[in-house]
Structure 1
Amino acid sequence: MSGRSGPFWDGVAGRAPMPRAAATLGLEFLGVDNESGTIELAFTATEDFTNPMGNVLGAFLAAMLYDTVGPALLATLAPDQFQSTLELNTRFLRPVRPGRIIGKGRVVHRVGDIAFLEATLSTPDGLAIATAAATARVIPLDSAPASA
């Protein structure tokens, strides 16, 4: 992993700062397999993420899913490539309280510059919380928007 470079790998290796949105979600890299296009992350949902019932708001879960599918694809790309998410479809399976949430993502299929991605969020003991399917386009890094 340390021999790779580019925005994704520089972040994983600590050579570049974590994006602010990812830091807000408490993102932590647990494992990456760029050959198989899979990634495992952890997030820390704080009390600030909760709705009036004390459960983590679905929008934060969707953001965690977004930050899981994107890196699954990024791990497979060349240093001069980035990804742009075209769509993200989420399914919320059960409520969850603040704490550690595990994200697992994978590249399901890629044809040219289009990739189909999946992600699951679960509790540390493996209970599924939410899932997502996404479509993304691989783009040259020099055309990636500054906010990506």
Structure 2
Amino acid sequence: MNIHEGVMALNDEDLMARMNRFVPPTAELLGQEILEIDSAAGRVKMKFLPIAACRNPMGNIQGGIVVAMLDDAAATAAIVKAGKRIGIPSIEMKTSFFAPARAGVPLFAEGRCIKLGKRVAFMEADLFDAAGTLLARLTTSAVPLDLDGPSALVERT
């Protein structure tokens, strides 16, 4: 079954509800929630609240965790743009850090699929704090792959 549950495609609101219910295992670690989907534009807005173990020695969110949040936002943008169940393994990525991501407060990401081709997808994502301060930006490319068979998603209860 693909993300559109059979023949009839889900609207963005129903797709968001489904994607918030069936999540990758990292969603709990990152405190991930999809807030908005625009599948036609290939854009998503997400909220993150990583667990305390994601902190670095200075008490901020560790840089690799920031990259993981941005990677999830960028990949989700490509997935919703595709309109079908795909995998989106990265082939390269670059992240620029502008300010520390503070721990214990919500962080917000916007992921955008810039171009979704048959062989390569180009995406970007920005991470903000609640005040709207830009904390980090990721640019990435990936190989869109059609997925068959069971997924590794888990159902939130």
TM bin (shorter chain)? 0.7 to 0.9
Is structure 2 residue 95 aligned with structure 1 residue 90? yes
**Structure 2 residue aligned with 1:108:** 114
TM-score in terms of structure 1 length: 0.84
Pairing partner for 2:141 from 107, 130, 135: 135
- Note the residue ranges of structure 2 that are not aligned, 5 or more in a row: 7-11
Q: CA deviation at 1:44?
A: 0.2
**How many residues end up aligned between the 2 structures?**
143
1:18 to 14, 19, 23: 23
From 63, 66, 75, the equivalent of 2:71 is 66
Q: Which amino acid aligns with 1:93?
A: F
Aligned CA RMSD, in angstroms, stands at: 2.6
Structure with greater strand percent: 1
Letter in 2 for 1:138: P
Cα gap change, 1:76/1:17 in structure 2, threshold over 3 Å: closer, same or farther? Answer: same
Q: Which runs of 5+ in 1 are unaligned?
A: none
Where in structure 2 are the equivalents of 1:40-79 lying within 5 Å? Answer: 40-79=45-84
Report the counterpart of residue 37 of structure 2 in structure 1. Answer: 32
CA separation in 2, counterparts of 1:75 and 1:101? 21
Query: After the TM superposition, which of the residue ranges 66-75 and 45-54 deviates more from structure 2?
Result: 45-54
Alpha-carbon distance between aligned partners in 1 of 2:107 and 2:85, rounded to the nearest angstrom: 31
